[in-house]
Amino acid sequence: MMRTILNSRYFIWLILAFPGFGMLSRYADGRLDAMGMLHPTGEFAVRFMIIAMLIGPLIDVFGQRRWLRWLLARRRWIGFAAFIYAVAHLVFYIVDMGALAEMLAEFTEHGIWTGWAAMVLMALPGLASNDAAMRALGRGWKRVQQFAYPAAVLSIAHWGLLTWEWTPALVHIAPLLLFNLLRIVKRVSPNRVVASQ
Amino acid sequence: MKKTSLVLAASMAFALSLPGTAMAHGKINCGGGPREGWTDVEQLKQKLLGEGWTIKKAKKVRDCYEVYGKTPEGDNVESFFHPVSLKKILVLKRGRELYRAPGY
């Protein structure tokens, strides 16, 4: 029974949507306005993006653990959820600004264009996170997914430049840096060289 | 894998090279003192409206009044004011400093 629930796609969808329900309920009853929605939507876009990107390095470091295989099978949904939260972030930004002219007037600010660039780079893997796109892109699909890396870095830059609060922004990307570093160390470690000889 | 790490490293280097990415923590200390002594936020709003600002939101943040709005020059800003004297301390346009009072 428990396994059926855990393996149900609705279960992971519910988990991924859960923070959004909380945000939307606070928006609906007026506790948060459009400006107030910007931070939580952006934060969860980054969180889910980092989680999706961490799965590969975690498997390289820890091996094929059961919980990692479970996550791996759902990685596309996690990445897609990140994209949906990013879209929500953009929608609330548009609502908050209220006019295209206002958005264009600040487009060149570093804190803003980094967000737009991250959004565009994230949209590519986000929109390609389905079977049809996988089939259509073939070997190029993996290359498209790699746009998530510059998207993650630009998202962190966007966050830090806007809020001046670099610590929480860098804390989010730190696991990705750490496990990519460990992945490299593991690949070039002497044990591995000996084992491969 | 090697390519992924290179992309990540290059992106990080690029992001850190952007102007204004100094490792600042928090935004500003206004030195507002105990909140019981603060001037009413309505007075600040009236003052700013009189100067031609448009106000979206005004609230207490740490020891400052923080105001989101538009300056008379038309910039959408986040700004900080001394909560007793209502002196303008810091004005940021999407994180870029437009004004900082001397000594802060």
Name the band, by pLDDT with cuts 50, 70 and 90, for residue A165.
confident
Tokens (6 digits) for B81: 């004011």
- Chain A residue numbers with beta carbons less than 8 Å from the beta carbon of B18 are 110, 114, 157, 161
Q: What pLDDT does A84 receive?
A: 96
CATH topology of domain A2-189: Four Helix Bundle (Hemerythrin (Met), subunit A) (1.20.120)
List average pLDDT for each run of 10 residues in chain B, which is 104 residues long: 58 52 60 94 97 95 94 95 96 95 92
Three-state SS at B90: strand
Token pair of A52 as six digits: 């999706």
pLDDT at B5: 58
Global pTM value: 0.84
The answer to whether A109 contacts B94, with C-beta atoms less than 8 Å apart, is yes
Question: Residue B4 corresponds to which tokens in the numbers above?
Answer: 């992924």
CA distance B59 to B61: 6
Query: Coil, strand or helix: which one is A70?
Result: helix
pLDDT value for A154: 96
Phi, psi values for residue A116, rounded to 5°? -65, -45
Which of A105, A109, A150 lies at the smallest CB-CB distance from B96?
Answer: A109
- Using an 8 Å CB-CB cutoff, list chain A residues near B20: 110, 161
Burial of A95 (0-12, 13-18, 19+ CB in 10 A): middle
What proportions of chain A, in percent to the nearest 5, are helix, strand and coil? 85, 0, 15
Say if B24 is an interface residue toward chain A (CB within 8 Å).
yes
Q: Does the beta-carbon distance from A164 to B26 stay under 8 Å?
A: yes
Collect all residues of chain B within an 8 Å Cβ-Cβ radius of residue A187: 1
Spell out the domain ranges in chain B: 28-100
Q: Does B76 touch chain A (CB under 8 A)?
A: yes
Ranking A23-37, A163-177, B10-24 by mean pLDDT, the lowest is: B10-24
The beta-carbon neighbor of A164 closest among B7, B11, B95 is: B95
CA A123/CA B6 separation, integer angstroms: 21
Report in angstroms the alpha-carbon separations of B63 from B41, B81, B83: 13, 9, 7
Q: Which two tokens stand for residue A129?
A: 């996170």
- Chain-centroid distance of CA A196 in Å reads 35
CB–CB of B52/B72 below 8 Å?
A: yes
Q: Using a CB-CB distance cutoff of 8 angstroms, which residues of chain A are in contact with residue B74?
A: 105
- CA torsion through residues A5, A9, A15, A17, sign: negative
